[in-house]
Chains A and B, each alone.
Chain A
């Protein structure tokens, strides 16, 4: 499996060099909380993690809150309101290191389905009092608003990647995330190809590895939640999905759910 070298330069303050644990904050924007739960799911490693960081702000886990600034901020969710756009700018100012976790934060999430559509129309249908709703016309990734030091993809993120990322930040070693396809992980774990052997539509060949091919291991096609791999040939896969019997609408929906627009962007940027 191939990896992209992505280790942010961290100039820890002197108190951390002396052995004081870095402070950690976990923030939520437009999202389902699933990625924060992935952190709480690290049951076997939570105690080791609690020894290495001082959890200063994590409302999902504790009501105890310490005011900033913070050494490390994990950010879940996308920006969907003017208030959130301002909030992320403040968090950026308060954070030495800002790391986005999950498809909402890195690609706008499912809620980016609104982008380019009639959002006022949606709110008038969904809410009894749409006049109380203050929202942007778009759902956008955090990196569209502030500089981001590291991104973990996925819906939800992979627990192993989260731990490796935290270990790399805390111990200052290079973090290497795969940029290759999910197929590499299917083959490495001996999962039979759901597309070739079962005719199941799958986005694995154009999706970035990192989940250890979770869905195909349960006989389901990959739905692309880790977003485009390093050189996604969306056109060629689209043709094969058609051969497997999907019509244009079904292919569009498959490509535009958990990473809405990310694969379309990949096509525009030229896949090869």
Chain B
């Protein structure tokens, strides 16, 4: 994204309520995505107005537990992360690759088109925007960039909100990915509660973002509001009980440790962690053939390294046990991701902790792996 350095450092605007901003987004984009309460969970969904966003909602998250409750605030973003990162928007669960038809005795293949989908997302958190960047490196960084990812990412206008209510499962202060949006957004906001309701202090992150702010003809924020907004990230960062140690990349790569068997006793190998992870990207190809045998469609679908079949090479899976598969996931996410992509694959969102049906906590596993193998026996 084009960063407007001078503006980012200094310029702040104020917005009372979100009606005007969302109206402008709806007018400008094919689709606007934002947080919506659905089945007792904050999900990312298409929205049409500010009224679709939650108001006065708080969440309670713990390993294997997610609950919403009402609170008295007028805030729209007074809760931590839901299960949806931005991954589905750029790397969807199902993505067409090609269709094939029989025509005049030969086979005709049509590659799927990936037109740029002009979408805006509002309420993106810093860790997820960083997850988008990490994922982008995996999907477009090499010699074979994924055109679908590129088209989806290029069309995405990101309105970030600084995370003021992190869940106890997340640890962005530790991973350095939040709670305040630093880059990758077009507009970033800090939500503040005032006597007049929710107020948003805005900053631009790109030319496109600045253009939208100008179009809305917003007032400059007062120094008092700017000071209050600047305090929020520090408050949010202090509330985070979990962390990974600095040597996590080395610990995660320990090939032999009894803790791997210990976690495999508890792990369901269900793949929930990889599905909710903002950076897990593995896929499989699925061919669907018509009954008459004259047409076929190939679709790329999400896969998971927790699947035994995913590791099938030749006649047999090379990671037949859950011990090997959990180790594969964690050692890649925190360890060999550095070797492959030059950084960690974890952005500290904690979704894998909350959405694991049995509450396996990677920070606790790393702590146990850090203990000498002898002591763990």
A interface residues (Cβ-Cβ under 8 A, vs B)? 1-4, 45, 48-49, 51-52, 163-164, 166-168, 170-171, 173-174, 176, 179-181, 183-184, 187-190, 192-193, 195-198, 202, 204-206, 219, 229-231, 233, 235-237, 239-240, 243, 272
Taking the nearest CB of chain B, how far is it from the CB of A93, in angstroms?
28
Task: Assess the A1–B272 pair: CB atoms within 8 A.
Answer: no
With an 8 A cutoff between CB atoms, is B358 at the interface? Answer: yes
Task: Assess the A197–B67 pair: CB atoms within 8 A.
Answer: yes
Residue numbers in A under 8 Å from B293 (CB-CB): 167, 170-171
With an 8 A cutoff between CB atoms, is B71 at the interface? Answer: no
Residue numbers in B under 8 Å from A188 (CB-CB): 93-94, 275, 301-302
- Supposing A167-B289, A183-B357, A193-B357 touch, asked if A272 and B271 sit within 8 A by C-beta, the answer is no
With an 8 A cutoff between CB atoms, is B65 at the interface? Answer: yes
Residue numbers in B under 8 Å from A206 (CB-CB): 268, 270
- Supposing A2-B284, A187-B275, A188-B275 touch, asked if A197 and B289 sit within 8 A by C-beta, the answer is no
Residue numbers in B under 8 Å from A230 (CB-CB): 307-309
Taking the nearest CB of chain B, how far is it from the CB of A174, in angstroms?
8
Task: Assess the A192–B269 pair: CB atoms within 8 A.
Answer: no
Residue numbers in A under 8 Å from B329 (CB-CB): none
Task: Assess the B268–A236 pair: CB atoms within 8 A.
Answer: yes
Identify 17 new A-B residue pairs, CB closer than 8 A, beyond the known A173-B289, A233-B267, A272-B269: A2-B304, A3-B286, A52-B291, A164-B289, A180-B306, A180-B307, A181-B268, A183-B357, A184-B271, A188-B275, A188-B301, A206-B270, A231-B269, A236-B267, A236-B268, A240-B357, A240-B359
Residue numbers in B under 8 Å from A190 (CB-CB): 43, 84, 88
Q: In B76-103, which residues have CB < 8 Å from any A CB? A: 83-84, 88, 93-94
Taking the nearest CB of chain B, how far is it from the CB of A232, in angstroms?
8
Task: Assess the B272–A193 pair: CB atoms within 8 A.
Answer: yes
Task: Assess the B275–A52 pair: CB atoms within 8 A.
Answer: no
With an 8 A cutoff between CB atoms, is B339 at the interface? Answer: no
Contacting residue for B40 out of A184, A192, A204, A205, CB 8 A: A192
With an 8 A cutoff between CB atoms, is B39 at the interface? Answer: yes
- Supposing A183-B272, A188-B93 touch, asked if A2 and B307 sit within 8 A by C-beta, the answer is yes
Taking each of A48, A189, A219, A272, which has the highest tally of chain B beta carbons within 10 Å of its own beta carbon? A272
Task: Assess the B321–A164 pair: CB atoms within 8 A.
Answer: no
Task: Assess the B275–A192 pair: CB atoms within 8 A.
Answer: no
Residue of B with least CB distance to A244: B64
Taking the nearest CB of chain B, how far is it from the CB of A52, in angstroms?
6
Those 9 A-B pairs whose CB atoms lie nearest each other, nearest first: A187-B275, A171-B293, A188-B93, A205-B270, A2-B309, A2-B307, A181-B270, A192-B41, A205-B268
Task: Assess the A236–B292 pair: CB atoms within 8 A.
Answer: no
Residue of B with least CB distance to A216: B39
Taking the nearest CB of chain B, how far is it from the CB of A98, in angstroms?
20
**How many residues in B have their beta carbons less than 8 Å from beta carbons of A?**
51
Q: B317-353 vs A: 1/0 string, CB under 8 Å?
A: 0000111000000000000000000000000000000
Task: Assess the A180–B276 pair: CB atoms within 8 A.
Answer: no
Task: Assess the A196–B357 pair: CB atoms within 8 A.
Answer: yes
With an 8 A cutoff between CB atoms, is B137 at the interface? Answer: no
Residue of B with least CB distance to A183: B270
Taking the nearest CB of chain A, how far is it from the CB of B46, in angstroms?
12
Contacting residue for B321 out of A49, A167, A180, A272, CB 8 A: A272
Can you give 24 A-B contacts (C-beta < 8 A)? A2-B304, A2-B309, A3-B284, A48-B292, A52-B291, A164-B289, A167-B290, A171-B289, A171-B293, A176-B287, A180-B307, A184-B275, A189-B93, A190-B84, A193-B66, A193-B272, A193-B355, A195-B64, A195-B357, A197-B39, A198-B39, A206-B268, A233-B268, A240-B358
Residue of B with least CB distance to A180: B307
Task: Assess the B41–A197 pair: CB atoms within 8 A.
Answer: yes
- Supposing A4-B309, A272-B321 touch, asked if A45 and B268 sit within 8 A by C-beta, the answer is no
Q: In B115-173, which residues have CB < 8 Å from any A CB? A: none
With an 8 A cutoff between CB atoms, is B264 at the interface? Answer: yes
With an 8 A cutoff between CB atoms, is B266 at the interface? Answer: yes
Taking the nearest CB of chain A, how far is it from the CB of B73, in angstroms?
22
Task: Assess the B289–A2 pair: CB atoms within 8 A.
Answer: no
Q: B352-367 vs A: 1/0 string, CB under 8 Å?
A: 0011011100000000
Residue of B with least CB distance to A171: B293
Residue of A with least CB distance to B292: A48
- Supposing A187-B275, A205-B272, A206-B268 touch, asked if A196 and B309 sit within 8 A by C-beta, the answer is no
Task: Assess the B268–A197 pair: CB atoms within 8 A.
Answer: no
Taking the nearest CB of chain A, how far is it from the CB of B272, in angstroms?
5
Task: Assess the A45–B272 pair: CB atoms within 8 A.
Answer: no
Taking the nearest CB of chain B, how far is it from the CB of A82, in angstroms?
38
Taking the nearest CB of chain A, how far is it from the CB of B374, in angstroms?
24
Task: Assess the B41–A240 pair: CB atoms within 8 A.
Answer: no
Task: Assess the B268–A237 pair: CB atoms within 8 A.
Answer: yes
Q: What is the bound-complex CA distance between A84 and B272, given in angstroms?
A: 42
Q: What is the bound-complex CA distance between A48 and B303, given in angstroms?
A: 31
With an 8 A cutoff between CB atoms, is B281 at the interface? Answer: no
Task: Assess the B264–A272 pair: CB atoms within 8 A.
Answer: yes
Task: Assess the B355–A196 pair: CB atoms within 8 A.
Answer: yes
